[in-house]
A and B are shown apart, each in its own frame.
Chain A
């Protein structure tokens, strides 16, 4: 039981490049989330998916798109990366008891 897994662990992009961050969970959770973590800001919600086939915007969705591919997988896409998107990205999934479990994170640097 791996919990929540994320790939890649590290990525360096140039401004304007695109990439997709992958997330998968093996806990059969319905709800999944993408957060970004910036120094002194805590974690902020980018997008979430309450169930397979649905997605909703969070606090900071601009510049991102998401896909809930199936119940296990929830990907985050940066279509045209900007230096402001340099951050650590965390994926999480949630139990029916409201508890969220987090992946190890993806560290992204946009030059």
Chain B
């Protein structure tokens, strides 16, 4: 079955430190992969997406993610976090065929320490 796993429920990072949020997927082919961010009480905003091509993708707000087929991973990174990055982050997956919806991970809650 298709699935997305975000192993870390909570992550605490100091402001200015680097960040990596993990995402692993289970699928037999190369999926379409997404990272969304949700600020408290808000909807979901797309950070970046991977469909094909260059495995390092750049997104908004200084985020990037790297697709690694051998590890079935799509980890999100940021070199230096800001207090405003505190939010819930969701990795999501789509098989690329049909109009069915995204499969989401359960999310990682990012806490920024001053």
A interface residues (Cβ-Cβ under 8 A, vs B): 30-31, 33, 35, 40-45, 48, 50-51, 56, 58, 90, 92, 94, 97-105
Contacts and interface: CB of A to CB of B under 8 A. Distances in A.
Interface in B45-102: 45-46, 49, 51, 90, 92, 94, 96, 98-102
Given A31-B99, A58-B100, A42 B106 contact: yes
18 contacts: A31-B99, A35-B101, A41-B106, A43-B44, A43-B102, A48-B100, A58-B100, A90-B44, A98-B51, A98-B94, A99-B49, A100-B34, A100-B101, A100-B102, A102-B36, A103-B43, A104-B43, A105-B43
Contacts of B9: 40
A94 B36 CA distance: 14
Q: Chain A binding site: helix, strand, loop or mixed by DSSP?
A: strand
Q: Name the residue in B44, B104, B106 with the highest tally of chain A Cβ atoms < 10 Å from its Cβ.
A: B44
Contact of A102 (B43, B51, B98): B43
A48 B32 contact: no
Interface of B: 9, 32, 34, 36, 42-46, 49, 51, 90, 92, 94, 96, 98-102, 104-107
List 4 A-B pairs, minimum CB-CB distance, nearest first. Answer: A50-B99, A45-B101, A42-B104, A102-B44
A48 B102 contact: no
Given A40-B106, A99-B49, A56 B100 contact: yes
Contacts, number: 58
A98 B90 contact: no
B106 A98 contact: no
A30 B34 CA distance: 20
A92 B94 CA distance: 14
B100 to A, nearest CB: 6
A98 B105 contact: no
B46 A99 contact: yes
A48 B43 contact: no
Contacts of B102: 43, 45, 100
